[in-house]
A and B are shown apart, each in its own frame.
Chain A
Amino acid sequence: MRRLVLGHSTETTLIAGMVLLCVGLSFGTDRFLTVANAFDVLNISAVNIIFAVGLLVVLISGGIDISFAVAASVAQYLTVLALGALGGGNWAEGFLIAGVVGTGLGLINAFLIYRLQIISIVATISTFNIFFGLLMFFTKGVSIYNLPDWLSNRVVFYEQEMADGSWVELTLPVVVMILCCVATSFMISRTTTGRKLYAFGDNPEGARRFGINIGAMHYISFGWLGLMAGIAGLMQAHYAQEVVPNALYGRELDVLAATVLGGARLGGGKGSVLGCVLGVLLVSITQNGLNLMGVSPFAFKMIVGAIILAAITLSSARLDKLLPEALKSSSRKGSQRS
């Protein structure tokens, strides 16, 4: 119960922060507070949110993954190559191949972590290097620009012209993102597996003595992240209309920062889909607002970085004071797990 309240306090703070930010930005620029802009922000952040909900599952189960963005690159590259070999393909085949490849790569991580007992950050840094090195070696860094038409054409589910002439568009990445969020949310909070993941992340040894299958937890969490990474990779290829092997390189740390901003805890047992979505959106809204206010794009990352730094340090400092003594020690234990 206490965790529930604390968990929701993160989300309430985030929403409050976001409302403040939005109010400030809507006074600062006249184009910010429009429906069209809201949909723009959603379209831009769709891929990152798909990554983030996948990463959330791994964080909840007490692990960490550095390799997922590169795994997504591998998945999108292999998918496009496979589709070419199949002679075109369609959306169903695309999702299937990307999902299978992504899940497979995630399962490799789970195998290393569970079977060979390598700590998750060490294992995934290694697989990060292996995936990226092999991808760049075999592709020689060559990008693919001639995607099948169905993949590169924009899919718009709903569009409407607003009074001021701007377009509201609900595109495929957003729909897929919503599906991924709903599926993840259902998995972690409405199924036994999800509750087991929380229990396992909070206290692995306790969970093991409870009779929870530790191996299955590893394979499920990393497999899920792999699946999400595969889907996100496909969506990114669709959104960018090209496949560039190193396009997603470095994305993992941005997504990790946003996910943790949304209340997931390194060390496991805490986090929600809502918080995670809010974390990514907060970063996107900041960038979007800065853009509309005419701030130099070179300053974006600096400001976003400063905001994340402030948010993370402030929230940890505040929580540390608020937490009762019993929880304090457990949060420290969690913070020593890397």
Chain B
Amino acid sequence: MKTFVQKFNATFGADMGGPVIAFVAVMLIFGLAADNFLSLATFGSVAFQLPELGLLTLAMLLPLLTGGINLSITFTANLAGLAAAWVLQAHGGADASVSVFLLACLAALATGAAAGALTGVAIAYTRAHPILVTLSMMIFLRGLGEFLTRGGDVSGFPAYVAPLGHGSLFGLPVPLLIFIVCVAVWHVLLRRSKLGFGLLMIGSNMEAANYSGLNTRKIVVLVYTLSGIMCAVAGIIMLARFNSVRVGHGESYLLITVLAAFLGGVNPFGGFGRVLPVFVALVVLQLLSSGLNLMGANQHLATALWGVLMIVVMAARTLASNYRFFKRKKA
């Protein structure tokens, strides 16, 4: 048993344990309780629902790793979606050409990056607490979006946009492919790039990172800008999936993304965490909600169970570390 645990930790990393155990538990429980759970339909629905929450979680992940948080992600995504929608509307609406769509995507990415950069600058240069800056940013962006749309929604997009949200390529849903590409990019960014190293160092100890010659301000601004860009990707996917943009779409995902990241072993104080466990945690959360749907419960029960799962995982982590502590004391 012990060697198995050690082998597992060596291959996947210790933070993979929680999500994998949760994954196995969810598969076992639902596989036994609902006989139609282990089917292609379940995984198909998970594959289509995962990307929205997943992309927003990726956007939340980088700030969390620096010891901050970005509460404005959902509304940044909405606003980026709005920017794309307007470019499409301004150039022919449903008849817009593909190049216009590319321009729209660029506009969305630029909007997301701008919102993120503004947040990053405010945090890096004033040293205000990220919760506060992003919280007020969220209130501001929500207000801006509601002001611009008057609370209504923008719709009427070209037909070729829909496959981005609903289509399949080689049997895999397009949004899932986009999500996997983004996961890979984030993984490489965290593991292989200077920025990834720097942001983890900032999360461990901002002061020490600063004294070691890292340009902490630049890194913080970049982190929030990247977070904004990832929000924009999520915004474009949401635009394609709902075929409309409304401020408030995906609002309920906000706290779930934090939950998914912590479930995926990200240290709440920042500095430690990887992308892959978070990916597994996201799959677990989505399987849980799909499984409950199959059994006839609604999304709200799934929300409650997400919270319970989170507490169980965190409590198990505490108990495990206490247990280890006791054993070391005895020895």
A residues near B, CB below 8 A?
64, 66, 112, 116-119, 121-123, 125-130, 132-137, 250, 253-254, 256-257, 260, 266-267, 296, 298-306, 308-309, 312-317, 320, 329, 332, 335-338
Chain B: interface residue count, which band? 35 or more
Given the complex of chains A and B, what is the CA–CA distance between A302 and B146 in angstroms? 8
How distant is A313 from chain B, measured CB to nearest CB, in Å?
5
1/0 per position for B246-264, CB-CB distance to A under 8 A? 0000010001101100100
B307 within 8 A of A: yes
Docked Cα-Cα span, A299 to B251, in Å, equals 19
Chain A residues whose CB sits within 8 angstroms of the CB of B128 once the complex forms: 312-313, 315-317
Q: A133-B305, A332-B207 are in contact. List 16 more A-B contacts (CB 8 A).
A: A119-B268, A122-B259, A125-B258, A125-B259, A126-B308, A132-B303, A137-B300, A266-B132, A298-B151, A299-B143, A302-B144, A308-B140, A317-B127, A336-B270, A338-B67, A338-B69
Residues of the A chain whose Cβ atoms lie less than 8 Å from the Cβ of B318: 116-118
Whether A137 contacts B138 by the Cβ 8 Å rule is no
- Cβ-defined contact, B255 with A116, below 8 A: no
Q: Please, could you name 5 A-B residue pairs with CB atoms under 8 Å apart, sorted by A?
A: A128-B307, A129-B255, A313-B133, A317-B126, A335-B127
Whether B139 and A301, one on each chain, are in contact in the complex, defined by CB atoms closer than 8 angstroms, is yes
Q: Closest approach, in angstroms, between the C-beta of B36 and any C-beta of chain A?
A: 22
Whose C-beta in chain B lies nearest to the C-beta of A303?
B143
**Would you call A308 and B126 a contact (CB within 8 A)?**
no
Chain A's nearest CB lies how many Å from the CB of B216?
Answer: 12
Q: Whose C-beta in chain A lies nearest to the C-beta of B298?
A: A137
Say how far A105's CB is from chain B's closest CB, in angstroms.
13
User: Are A129 and B135 neighbours in the complex by a CB distance under 8 Å?
Assistant: no
Query: What is the minimal beta-carbon distance from A189 to any residue of chain B, in angstroms?
Result: 24
Q: What are the 5 A-B residue pairs with the smallest beta carbon separation, nearest first?
A: A133-B304, A305-B140, A301-B143, A302-B143, A129-B307
**Complex: chain A residue closest to B118, CB-CB:** A309
**List of B residues within 8 angstroms of A133 by Cβ:** 300-307
Number of A-B contacts (CB under 8 A): 173
A335 to B205, CA, bound (A): 12
Complexed CA–CA distance, A122 and B132 (Å): 17
A124: min CB distance to chain B, Å: 10
Shortest distance between the CB of A222 and any CB in chain B (Å): 15
CB distance from A233 to the nearest CB of B (A): 19
| Chain A residues whose CB sits within 8 angstroms of the CB of B304 once the complex forms | 129-130, 132-134, 137
Residues of chain A within 8 A (CB-CB) of B302 are 133
**What B residues does A317 contact at CB under 8 A?**
125-128
**B122 contacts partner chain A, Cβ-Cβ < 8 Å:** yes
Q: Is A309 a contact of B122 with CB atoms below 8 Å?
A: yes
Report chain A residues within 8 Å CB of B206: 332, 336
